[in-house]
Amino acid sequence: MITNIPIYITDANCVTPLGFDLETNWEALVNGQSGIQFHENFGNLTSVYASNINVQKLNESFLKVTNESQFTKLEKMLILALHPIVTKNKISDKSVLILSTTKGNISLLENEELPIEDAQLSTLAKKINTFFGFKTEPIVVSNACVSGVLAVSVAKRMIQFGAYENAFVIAGDEISEFVLSGFNSFQAMSNSPCTPYDAERNGVTLGEASAAVFITTQKPINNAVAIIGDGAVNDANHISGPSRTGDGLHKSIESAFKEANIGKDKLDYISAHGTATLYNDEMEAIAFSRSNIDTVAINSLKGYFGHTLGASGLLEIVIALQSLYHNELLASKGFVSSGVSIPIPVLKENRKKEITYFLKTASGFGGCNTAVLFEKIN
């Protein structure tokens, strides 16, 4: 039986091209820095914009955690993101690790001598689970680009159901030639750093990152943020194209507000998906309008990090939490003038604002959509 006990999201961390801890990332974002860079060559691809993590710096930081060498790049990213959270929050017999990823260690498939099982998502989850000493089996959430947001929803519901006392949620994906080639075949990649919602936008920029949060029923003394409502609706519109009516995202938002039982006039901020593809951004604007929240301040963080796939939703929640704590909204980098049919107040510059409620949304291939509402308690 699911109970309505309050669920809080407390500690958070992230590893991105902008830095290997939350404080460094926040400072870089406030100063308008982006991790997106031009690459003359990326595998067999040429002239690619992407936001990728420096391997040498990653290895140097990882050595501060452990000198074990059997970990892949993605595994190091995930461990670095989660390590400070596990240090501060004890793993109990009823703690669970929830991993969000879309591709996992897919780059291992390039080595034909390795067993295919090494690249399976369950193998990745179990490896992280074992490293930190979790006593329960890990859970994998892999539902296209909504995975990171959906993992938070899954954690909330599993705790309310009584299956676990708390959850350590991690999310991560890395850039690989396989992923770049896939998006390139869709003709979905931008030939410059992506500019969500802008009139000149022409596609997505890919990135890599990891993020982690701790979710619990224990209310923290300071900076308490509650997860007050969530919804996930698949409109099954198309294997890769978003709905033209915004139906799935609209219904996800309505579900989240119904559970939260708050008026939409209380909403202070929307951390949107904003991939900078023509159809995704248009779909979101339609959904926000249908839900009567199209006058609320909105941004996308893809202009800073690129689209980090299975990490994006959780990473953007982590940064939105910082906006709550600092009462500061970040500009939607690259946005100059609106390129969607319904006017939405996309942030052109950083803005100081008292924030109590924010909404995080995400949409992905296959028609999946997720929305989660958060409330700052103190």
Percent of residues, the chain, with pLDDT higher than 70: 99
Arithmetic mean of pLDDT, 121-128 = 98
Task: Give every CB contact of residue 160 below 8 A, 6+ residues apart in sequence.
Answer: 2, 3, 4, 5, 7
**What does the alpha-carbon distance between residue 271 and residue 250 come to, in Å, rounded to a whole number?**
15
User: For the packed helices 73-88 and 121-132, what is the interaxial angle rounded to 10 degrees?
Assistant: 40
Arithmetic mean of pLDDT, 124-131 = 98
- Which of the listed CATH numbers 3.40.50.300, 3.40.47.10, 1.10.10.10, 2.40.33.20 matches domain 225-376? 3.40.47.10
- Which of the listed CATH numbers 3.40.50.720, 3.60.15.10, 3.30.470.20, 3.40.47.10 matches domain 8-216? 3.40.47.10
Alpha helix positions (H), the chain: 22-30, 55-62, 73-88, 121-132, 147-161, 177-185, 247-260, 278-290, 302-305, 312-326
Tell which residue, 144, 209, 138, has the closest CA to residue 172: 209
Which pLDDT belongs to residue 239? 81
pLDDT tens for 18-73 read 999 999 999 999 999 999 999 998 888 889 999 999 999 999 999 999 998 899 99
At residue 354, does pLDDT exceed 80?
A: yes
Which pLDDT belongs to residue 71? 97
> Considering Cα of 359, then 158, then 15, then 119, what sign does the dihedral take?
negative
- H and E: helices and strands count for the chain: 10, 15
Q: Where are the domains of the chain?
A: 8-216, 225-376
Which pLDDT belongs to residue 222? 87
Shared fold status for 8-216 and 225-376? yes
Tell me the pairing of strands 328-329 and 95-100. unpaired
Arithmetic mean of pLDDT, 139-144 = 97
Tell me the pairing of strands 8-15 and 209-216. antiparallel
**What does the alpha-carbon distance between residue 325 and residue 219 come to, in Å, rounded to a whole number?**
16
pLDDT tens for 59-99 read 999 999 999 889 999 999 999 999 999 999 999 999 999 99
